């Protein structure tokens, strides 16, 4: 096991440690490093989050739309293009952080209609779960109707999509839109990456994945990992927990 530790300190910048030495990363290298590459790779001490507050601070958004996409895939050689096969979105109130509504649909892929064994093993989605489902173009039309019904697109309503990582809206969704000949809406070109939000607040630790954030927040996971709807529910738990600790969320991911 590698015993080298790279971590960051809000005030002193990142250092590299091993059993034999401790030295600061050169200043010129530090300046060139992307902000969120200045992060811990290994933790030697338990991560301690700020205590919970009596009142959740006012957020910048009326609603958070928590999204977790699952797509076709294979290993060791992946398929291209990858198509969305599960599209869940939770409407989370920006004051109470309660889930008020859920949009959830499985999606029938069209370019590679047969799911691989690897994909089914990873996501838990089997062929029978997508065969009779609508193609993404119809699913997305239904999703837009759902947004209208939930008054998310009403003038004056501030909302933000929330993901656990950038690829959902930076890669998978735009790729699917290209396959389905759909224009990417402007309101889906920026989002909140909850891992980045987690890292931007005390104790300034980069969580490796959703499971790590659940562990740091002392939350119990719901459902199965890589189930889109279950992951979305767990992300919603995390943002509520962080808000209760004083976190104020803002956009931190975007695609031109």
Structure tokens at 165: 């990582």
Residue pair 53/248 in contact by the 8 Å Cβ criterion: no
Catalytic residue among 83, 226, 244, 256: 226
Closest C-alpha among 140, 124, 226 to residue 178 = 140
Residue pair 173/84 in contact by the 8 Å Cβ criterion: yes
Structure tokens at 73: 């895939």
> Which segments of 82-209 does DSSP mark as H helices, in order?
117-123, 128-131, 136-149, 167, 173-179, 194-199
Q: Is 70 a catalytic residue?
A: yes
Structure tokens at 227: 């189930």
What gap in Å lies between CA 214 and CA 240, rounded to an integer? 11
Catalytic residue among 45, 70, 183, 244: 70
Angle at 250 between CA 47 and CA 252, to 5 degrees: 80
Residues with active-site annotation: 70, 226
């Amino acid at each position: 096991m590698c015993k080298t530790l790279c971590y960051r300190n809000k005030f002193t910048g990142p250092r590299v440690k091993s059993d034999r030495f401790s030295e600061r990363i050169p200043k010129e290298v530090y300046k060139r490093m992307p902000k969120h590459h200045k992060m811990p790779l290994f933790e030697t001490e338990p991560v301690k989050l700020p205590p919970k507050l009596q009142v959740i601070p006012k957020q910048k958004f009326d609603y958070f739309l928590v999204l977790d996409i699952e797509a076709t895939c294979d290993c060791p050689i992946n398929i291209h293009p990858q198509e969305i096969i599960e599209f869940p979105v939770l409407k989370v109130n920006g004051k109470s952080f309660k889930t008020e509504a859920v949009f959830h649909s499985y999606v029938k892929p069209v370019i590679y209609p047969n799911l691989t064994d690897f994909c089914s093993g990873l996501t838990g989605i089997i062929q029978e779960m997508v065969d009779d489902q609508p193609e993404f173009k119809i699913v997305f039309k239904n999703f837009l109707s759902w947004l209208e019904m939930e008054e998310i697109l009403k003038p004056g309503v501030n909302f933000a999509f929330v993901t656990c990582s950038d690829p959902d809206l930076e890669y998978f969704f735009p790729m699917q839109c290209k396959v389905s000949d759909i224009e990417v809406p402007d309101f889906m070109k920026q989002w909140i990456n909850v891992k980045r939000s987690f890292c931007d607040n005390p104790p300034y630790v980069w969580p490796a994945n959703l499971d790590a954030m659940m562990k740091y927040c002392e939350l119990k996971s719901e459902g199965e990992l890589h189930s889109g709807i279950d992951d979305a529910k767990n992300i919603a738990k995390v943002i509520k927990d962080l808000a209760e600790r004083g976190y104020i969320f803002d956009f931190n991911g975007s695609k031109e």
